[in-house]
Structure 1
Amino acid sequence: MQPAKYRQAISKEAPDSSRFSYQALASGLNEPMGMAILPNLDVVVIERKGGVKYFNNSTQELAQIAQFNVFSGIEDGLLGVAVDPAFKKNNWIYFYYAVAGDRNINHLVRFELKNQKLIQTSKKILLEVPTQRTYCCHSAGYITFGPDGLLYLSIGDNTNAEEIEGHNPIDERPGRQLSDDQGTTANSNDLRGKILRIKPEANGTYSIPEGNLFPKDGSLGKPEIFAMGLRNPFRVSVDAKTQYVYWGDVGPDSEVKASEGKLSYDEINQARQPGFFGYPYFLGANEVFPDYDFATKKEGPGKDPRRPINDSPNNTGVKELPPAQPAFIWYGKGPSAKWPLLGKGGASAMAGPVYYSDLYLNAPYKLPAYYNGKLFIYDWIRRWIFAVTMDAAGNYVSMEPFLPQLKVVAPIDMQIAPDGAIYLLAYGTNWFAHNTDSGIIRVEYAEGNRKPVAAIKANNTIGAAPFTVVLSASGSKDFDAGSKLSYEWKIGNKSLYGKDARYTFTKAGVYKVVLTVSDEQGGKGIATMPVKVGNSPPVVVIATKANRSFYWDNTVLDYQVKVTDPEDGTINPAKIKLAFDYLPFGKDLASLLSADNDGNIQHTATVKLYNSQDCKSCHTLETKSVGPALKEISKKYKNQAGATAMLARKIISGGIGNWGTYPMPPHANLAEKEAQEIAGYILSLAEKPEKLPLSNKIILSEHLGKGTEGAYVLHASYTDKGANGIEPLTTTSQLVLRNPLIQFEDYQEGNVNVVIGTLKTQYVTYIANITDGKFARFNGIDLNQIKSIRLRVREHGAGGKIELRQNTKDGPLLGAVEIAAGKATDTNTDWQEIQLPVTGKNIAGVQDLYFVFRNGQAKESLFHLDWMYFQK
């Protein structure tokens, strides 16, 4: 079938991103693997460990409707789900899963789904696939249908990815058949490493359609096979017009040199007809793996892609395979010269649908014609989605990011619903985990009137009963100017109206607050927020008589940490985490206060660097994910000589084999020093910091002679026991003391200009264009014990007064100083230091300070300001 006529009318202008709206329909799924969207927009979601969840579109509720008894070791479990194209008539739904028990088999089964229930007596086993469960990995298991009603099932190669010695898995040594892909994916008599195409029959069997890769009689291979030579064809789609088949194939980790980096490409494949797609002999544009002999450790010439021969003793099928088909798109772990937009790092390529406007003519949320004929691809690790443009023949033309503003955490499925909306399934942050950031996301496109964007703000969402929550929709918006919006809040059966609402929960439980924002044209935006009642967060207080903003060398910091929790009652001091350290770097207080570092605050900057990489996709702090926990690594190498340098090399170059079958991608973008800092942070996790007393006095002596950089941080946290069905809650408190010298150009808000002046040997940055009524605001400063502020001033202008005011421009006056008029001529020398006395009352405690500049008689600039120094 020629696709030309389906790709002719394409708009050249990409749609405005504001025309897309997003709604999280459900969250907190336990390893979601796939979804099936029903004609009424209900959604069936499967979880790897066997759970089947049902999202009711009318009630917006998620419920479990079934639990399969599955083998969920390695990567197996409940892997695939799809509804029959004639679901409205037959109610058929299909599942593919690893059957629990002693037999190593997977089943493709069919049930009837009626009234949100799987009818167990309707179960039909269509297909049984023998597997091995000794080694990991590659299960695949995706189910989809073509426009002709044929069912496509992807199956992974199911071989051992370990001990491949930097090559492809073609180990022909006796006893190593489970490490030879020539016995599975390249074997025409094996269903693994394939995409199957069958026709389900009404009686629960299937027939072989015309046009598969091998004859129906099975004389040359399994007649179910449509495509072979696949490693882990994780997600599959069928073009509704051309019937071309697309899939993402997750690549190996080899050390074989390739045209771009190493021959470890992930692939997006396009099958215009049945065929052999190369693995384990070829990758990408049929780049050839050498023929590696695992017994002699010698390489020989690889296979000929025009006439590949499978002469492995583990092959039970034909020896001469069909000519190898090249990949459609391929990319490795490093930057791609051919497809630079795809980025770098770890990868898991996936193929989504090809979109056609005329299939959704009456759909309210259909995409614009701009996307006509485009293929959507996505990556589970890199977390992007791209729209791929093809020419009339289906050849690659270009690609562009799709919805880059929508951050989907590990997208694992992508489908288009009958009403034109896009559904995305997010797996969540950690591998093999019940992630709170997993869930179903619905994306709608508005061609005319745009739906309002609903947003909920709450003063609090967790507390003990009775619990009052103040709600606000002030963050909601409408991209269509002049829209008049109305607001409805639903909490259970209770409805509240207005932009703001207040509600008191009297009983413990987990509640869902639903905000619906409507415009005059009938557009509705919906946002939800959970509220947990029954456990109040602990209160952690760091009390001190000292100043809470600044340190002065060799002064004493006294502190006392107090924790209270109504549900826990008496607090065990041993459960309070407390850490104190001096940070010799920078003055980025935002990074200090937001650092996710388990109290290991001396590595705050390094943690920020670590979090900027893709490391968290595979590693968590405490528990094993796809890779080992960071604390496991630390314990293993903490006493090993040269461990920091060794781990740094691994971080930069990547590796495999030390912790299992999964490769660690390289991070060639990191400098050696950065990699060593990350390695040092990881190794530090095995150290048990000295237990600090909850009440103490500390001499601040670390900073001596180290300029204006650095900060002291006292960090306290406590996790309660949980109560009334609500999980344990953690509260953290931090006391951050910085240098008392602050540059004026570092203000948080103001209407003055920052100027860079040239000195003889360096630059000086200061604020200028200071006229009457202008100001500079500095947030969160404690004036306790502060008697004056020393200012570095340049008398250049009409002169005037500097007022120090509390919390607002017109707040209480805390002090003032006059600056004389002058005309400075030398940026190097024309500066002087003057004192601004702090004379106000009730000045202790953290507050915002406003420096307000006054001279109502002058129209020109008043003076220049460089820095301030807070003095005791």
Structure 2
Amino acid sequence: MAENSGVSFIRNKTGNTSTNNSWREALDAPDSSRFTRIILAQGFDEPLGMAILPNNDVLLAERKGSVKIYNRKTKQVKTISNFNVFSGIEDGLLGIAIDPNFSKNRWIYFYYALAGDLSVNRLSRFELLGDALVQNSEKVLLEIPTQRKYCCHSAGYISFDSNGLLYLSTGDNTNAEETEGYTPVDERPGRALADDQATAANTNDLRGKILRIKPLDNGTYAIPQGNLFPPGNPKARPEIYIMGSRNPYRFSIDRKNSYLYWGDVGPDTKVMGDEGELMSYDEINQARKPGFYGWPYFLGNNQAFPKYDFETKTLGPKKNPANPVNDSPNNTGERVLPPAQAAMIWYGKKSSKNFPLLGNGGASAMVGPVYYTDLFPNAPYKLPSYYNGKLFIYEWIRGWIMAVSLDKNGNYLSMEPFLEHLKFKAPVDMQFGNDGALYVLEYGTNWFSKNMDAKLVRIEYQEGNRNPVAEIQTDKQYGASPFSVQFSGNKSIDHDREDKLFYIWNIDNKEFKGAIVNYTFTKVGAHTVALTVTDNKGGRGMASTQVFAGNTPPDVQIETSSNRSFYWDNSLLDYNVLVKDKEESAINPERIKVTFGYLPRGKDVAVILTQNQDAGNFNYLKGQQLTATLDCKSCHSVDRASVGPTYLAISERYSGKQGALTYLADKIIQGGSGVWGERAMIPHPELPKSDAEEIVNYIFSLTDKSGGKRKLKDEIVLKDHIGKGIEGLYLLNATYTDQGANGIEPLQSRDYITLRNPFVQAEDFDEGNVRLGTITTDFLTYATSINHNSFIRFNSIDLRNVRQLKYRVRAQSGGVIEVHHGNKNGPLISSIKIPSRIAGSQAHWTEIIADLKETRGVQDLYFVFTDESGKKNLFDIDWIYFGNTTL
């Protein structure tokens, strides 16, 4: 293994790289309940970076050019500037940082792609007066020529070290979509934009680098001592500190020893690495001094790529990491490069043998700060000493944060999950504030989009008394103006159970106290409601929600004269869908969607209803669930533009074509490129072929125009279940989406009917005080330990058209089964005596029929078991059959 700027490695038993850690004091990991995640603001449009001010207000930069500020006192966000940027490809407003002397000079630095015909990315300084950015105060420190013809890799992160030196990361800015599964080293004439040897491996180009400069008061900069190349060399830029990076998207500088850490987002290749895995590595790097970090010749622990000849389609020799040479005709810098340095951590699409905690799937490696307890001596939310000296790394795609332990010399020891119980939506920046809290900026689910889950959060740690965890519940979220809402904080908790909680609400800039507050909104629009929960020891937790006055959810109802609980062979379901909407004088029937289907697995109904699926498309649920649990959503969505094509576009191109199912399933497993551009698709070699086909079938279903859609009024003969067991359900689902009103988004409401098999297993009761017995040889589960006054309850049962009940029972001491409607002491609608078992005889199962009074309405149904003598163990019950004819 090549030397990594002096970082040495030892293999330990767990498969991680490690060194002796006896120098570190053994401390217990802190209880996760002592961490509180507070959402400060959300709904951003591609937030890429933040700068935390000394007073813990937060500046935020959005890629399309907006600069916003979060005010910690008012808890409000406002836009303070809009940069005119080129926001094509991955460019835009990329970086933001405050000057180390910000409290005195109010200087802020931005890195952005200049709009217009001049293809440059610019590093500039501005002045902030109050919370307004002075546009004419711009001082241009540096401009970096770029190409805007091909995607990708802009990087653009800015940060200062403890010596006042500014670091700026730049992407390789090379055509990443036509690599044919290799690295972009295309030396053919006219292909310079596809040759990373012209950028990342070029000592005379500022792209694919991390630069280090000393900003001066007059708006220029000086070259600090110790960069990779000294001034005066016409073939090497002195601003370069690190070269050979592909997309060094996020980095940090250790505030004590100035070690530089960065995540480098890796390629998708078909080249097999030394460890039997594709060399599609993302890297976490450490630099204790300037150096060349390998790209596009080496990745990971200096594993080398073969030289691919794009003209002849042949592979040449690999380069030597100890003596790399850049012979590209597109190279304008030095031919002989510094020795390549290995990554500290590297991982591909599969689970890493060296770093197994990092998971698998798509990847975008990011680096956060190194934490030191003594840098936050009086900070209220500082992390415990357990994290002293640990490096925080995180993942845009996989959503985790890891704490990396280093020895006293900075060598890698181990890593562990941080806040493993939380999932972050594409974390894109991470910094500590002066209050000791960890601030995390989340980009959100969909690429190149405004996302409601794009948010700024603050992670607080509390020693001693733990902060309450605030939670808001509302009885409704939308309604016409005036709009009355009840807010409750009763679900808020305090892990210190003896603490007493106090509730303070902020609604329309008015303060209210108490766990429950009723409020009427008279102004249409969105209203933010904030709750602060404090305890009697000074702890506090915060939560917020939004309610919307001006649009009432539609009223959707399914009317039927049929039974709403059960189906029988060839029985009839009639229905009529009715819709009302307070803000709409006329209902557009085209906006009403009625679907119907039989679900062989009844449990799938919850998925359909919670994920807004169609009842007629139940066959594609597994495929839909696979797209949600794999890394598919990182690059694709149903209908919103992202890195890869939408599912709708894929379906429109391939659905119905011969061989398309096999072709696309193989592509999911093997990966590929060239159809929707040259950006490679991540392979999934561990995915079974059957699962890949489920995904493809789900995608094809999206352009099925029928989608199970039915008339608003109809009759259906129920026969799809025949011969398919008793676990299935029918689902009739009606939805209506209104057109929005008073600036409030369109709202959707639904009504649905689920019909289940009339054979109801006794053990499936919703509430009861009996026990369950099993006979493993018969795969039988039943209700047992039934005593006098025992009961079981089934929720929301419709007895319309039910004539008789049949029980499968096994007698013991005998008793009576009573059926009560509505509650345990409600109307008695059926009763049957179960004779006692003859003494000495063997208990056996038998079926017994009970009459049922005609009953209408959906009510809870109570089966109450009695015996006048108060005996125990009356009988066992296997199932109950609800018959629509005389049995």
TM over 0.5: yes
Question: Does the Cα contact within 8 Å between 1:10 and 1:372 map onto a contact in 2?
Answer: no
The corresponding residue for 1:628 is 645
- The whole-number CA distance in structure 2 between the counterparts of 1:863 and 1:755 is 12
Q: 1:852 to 1:473 in 2, by over 3 A?
A: farther
The corresponding residue for 1:324 is 340
SS at match of 2:627: helix
Q: 1:736 to 1:172 in 2, by over 3 A?
A: same
Q: 1:378 to 1:778 in 2, by over 3 A?
A: farther
1:851 deviates by: 3.2
Q: Which of 393, 404, 410 is 1:377 aligned to?
A: 393
The corresponding residue for 1:186 is 201
The corresponding residue for 2:581 is 565
Q: Which of 135, 139, 147 is 2:150 aligned to?
A: 135
Q: Which of 681, 704, 726 is 2:744 aligned to?
A: 726
Question: Does the Cα contact within 8 Å between 1:597 and 1:607 map onto a contact in 2?
Answer: no
The corresponding residue for 2:330 is 314
Question: Does the Cα contact within 8 Å between 1:45 and 1:52 map onto a contact in 2?
Answer: yes
Matched, 1:611 2:628: yes
SS at match of 1:646: helix
Q: 1:649 to 1:39 in 2, by over 3 A?
A: same
Question: Does the Cα contact within 8 Å between 1:237 and 1:352 map onto a contact in 2?
Answer: yes
1:127 deviates by: 0.7
Matched, 1:356 2:367: no
1:325 deviates by: 0.6
1:840 deviates by: 7.3
Moved more, 96-105 or 647-656: 647-656
Per-residue CA shift, 1:134-167, capped at 9, x if unaligned?
0000011011111111111110000001121111
Q: Which of 656, 665, 674 is 1:639 aligned to?
A: 656
Q: Which of 43, 58, 77 is 2:58 aligned to?
A: 43
Q: 1:800 to 1:273 in 2, by over 3 A?
A: farther
Per-residue CA shift, 1:679-712, capped at 9, x if unaligned?
1111122221075221111111212222213222
The corresponding residue for 2:12 is none
Matched, 1:406 2:400: no
Per-residue CA shift, 1:31-88, capped at 9, x if unaligned?
1111111011101111110011110000000111110000000111001111112111
Matched, 1:844 2:857: yes
What letter is aligned with 2:132? K
- The whole-number CA distance in structure 2 between the counterparts of 1:571 and 1:821 is 61
Per-residue CA shift, 1:91-135, capped at 9, x if unaligned?
111111100000100001111112111012221111101000000
Moved more, 430-439 or 685-694: 685-694
The corresponding residue for 2:674 is 657
1:782 deviates by: 2.2
Q: 1:308 to 1:809 in 2, by over 3 A?
A: farther
- The whole-number CA distance in structure 2 between the counterparts of 1:140 and 1:483 is 47
1:520 deviates by: 1.0
Q: What pairs with 1:389-468 in structure 2 (closer than 5 Å)?
A: 389-468=405-484
1:839 deviates by: 3.1
What letter is aligned with 2:638? L
1:6 deviates by: 13
What letter is aligned with 1:556? L
Structure 2, gaps ≥5 residues long: 8-18
Q: Which of 37, 40, 44 is 1:29 aligned to?
A: 44
Question: Does the Cα contact within 8 Å between 2:245 and 2:294 map onto a contact in 1?
Answer: yes
Moved more, 813-822 or 448-457: 813-822
The corresponding residue for 1:475 is 491
- The whole-number CA distance in structure 2 between the counterparts of 1:819 and 1:32 is 69
Question: Does the Cα contact within 8 Å between 2:596 and 2:616 map onto a contact in 1?
Answer: no
- The whole-number CA distance in structure 2 between the counterparts of 1:281 and 1:442 is 40
Q: What pairs with 1:211-250 in structure 2 (closer than 5 Å)?
A: 211-250=226-265
Question: Does the Cα contact within 8 Å between 1:5 and 1:392 map onto a contact in 2?
Answer: no
Q: What pairs with 1:8-407 in structure 2 (closer than 5 Å)?
A: 10-258=25-273, 259-407=275-423
What letter is aligned with 1:676? E
What letter is aligned with 1:648? A
SS at match of 1:650: helix
Question: Does the Cα contact within 8 Å between 1:82 and 1:144 map onto a contact in 2?
Answer: yes
Moved more, 12-21 or 210-219: 210-219
What letter is aligned with 2:459? V
Question: Does the Cα contact within 8 Å between 2:596 and 2:709 map onto a contact in 1?
Answer: no
Moved more, 501-510 or 451-460: 501-510
Question: Does the Cα contact within 8 Å between 1:231 and 1:250 map onto a contact in 2?
Answer: yes
Question: Does the Cα contact within 8 Å between 2:24 and 2:407 map onto a contact in 1?
Answer: no
Question: Does the Cα contact within 8 Å between 2:382 and 2:435 map onto a contact in 1?
Answer: yes
1:753 deviates by: 3.1
Q: 1:856 to 1:385 in 2, by over 3 A?
A: farther
The corresponding residue for 2:10 is none
Question: Does the Cα contact within 8 Å between 1:591 and 1:605 map onto a contact in 2?
Answer: no
TM-score, normalised to structure 2, is 0.94
- The whole-number CA distance in structure 2 between the counterparts of 1:771 and 1:593 is 38
1:628 deviates by: 1.1
The corresponding residue for 1:746 is 764
What letter is aligned with 1:636? R
- The whole-number CA distance in structure 1 between the counterparts of 2:320 and 2:840 is 79
Identity of matched residues, % = 55
CA RMSD of aligned residues (A): 2.3
SS at match of 1:604: helix
1:836 deviates by: 4.3
- The whole-number CA distance in structure 1 between the counterparts of 2:23 and 2:105 is 36
The corresponding residue for 2:721 is 703
Moved more, 396-405 or 25-34: 396-405
1:642 deviates by: 1.1
The corresponding residue for 2:16 is none
Q: 1:491 to 1:172 in 2, by over 3 A?
A: same
SS at match of 1:301: strand
Q: 1:557 to 1:217 in 2, by over 3 A?
A: same
Q: 1:114 to 1:676 in 2, by over 3 A?
A: same
SS at match of 2:557: strand
Question: Does the Cα contact within 8 Å between 1:798 and 1:858 map onto a contact in 2?
Answer: no
Question: Does the Cα contact within 8 Å between 2:57 and 2:70 map onto a contact in 1?
Answer: yes
SS at match of 2:496: coil
The corresponding residue for 2:599 is 583
- The whole-number CA distance in structure 1 between the counterparts of 2:827 and 2:541 is 43
SS at match of 1:393: coil
Question: Does the Cα contact within 8 Å between 2:621 and 2:698 map onto a contact in 1?
Answer: no
What letter is aligned with 1:706? K
Question: Does the Cα contact within 8 Å between 2:235 and 2:332 map onto a contact in 1?
Answer: no
What letter is aligned with 2:435? D
- The whole-number CA distance in structure 1 between the counterparts of 2:820 and 2:28 is 52
Question: Does the Cα contact within 8 Å between 2:366 and 2:396 map onto a contact in 1?
Answer: yes
Q: Which of 536, 539, 542 is 1:526 aligned to?
A: 542
The corresponding residue for 1:671 is 688
Number of residue pairs aligned between Structure 1 and Structure 2: 866
Question: Does the Cα contact within 8 Å between 1:136 and 1:661 map onto a contact in 2?
Answer: no
1:858 deviates by: 5.1
- The whole-number CA distance in structure 2 between the counterparts of 1:230 and 1:816 is 79
What letter is aligned with 2:696? A
What letter is aligned with 1:758? T
Moved more, 170-179 or 498-507: 498-507
Question: Does the Cα contact within 8 Å between 1:2 and 1:242 map onto a contact in 2?
Answer: no
What letter is aligned with 1:98? A
1:661 deviates by: 4.1
- The whole-number CA distance in structure 1 between the counterparts of 2:643 and 2:323 is 37
Question: Does the Cα contact within 8 Å between 2:468 and 2:495 map onto a contact in 1?
Answer: yes
- The whole-number CA distance in structure 2 between the counterparts of 1:614 and 1:314 is 36
1:404 deviates by: 1.6
Moved more, 738-747 or 580-589: 580-589
Matched, 1:830 2:848: no
- The whole-number CA distance in structure 1 between the counterparts of 2:434 and 2:839 is 72
Moved more, 734-743 or 400-409: 734-743
What letter is aligned with 1:420? G
1:659 deviates by: 1.5
Q: 1:311 to 1:599 in 2, by over 3 A?
A: farther
1:172 deviates by: 0.5
- The whole-number CA distance in structure 2 between the counterparts of 1:447 and 1:162 is 50
The corresponding residue for 1:867 is 879
1:8 deviates by: 5.2
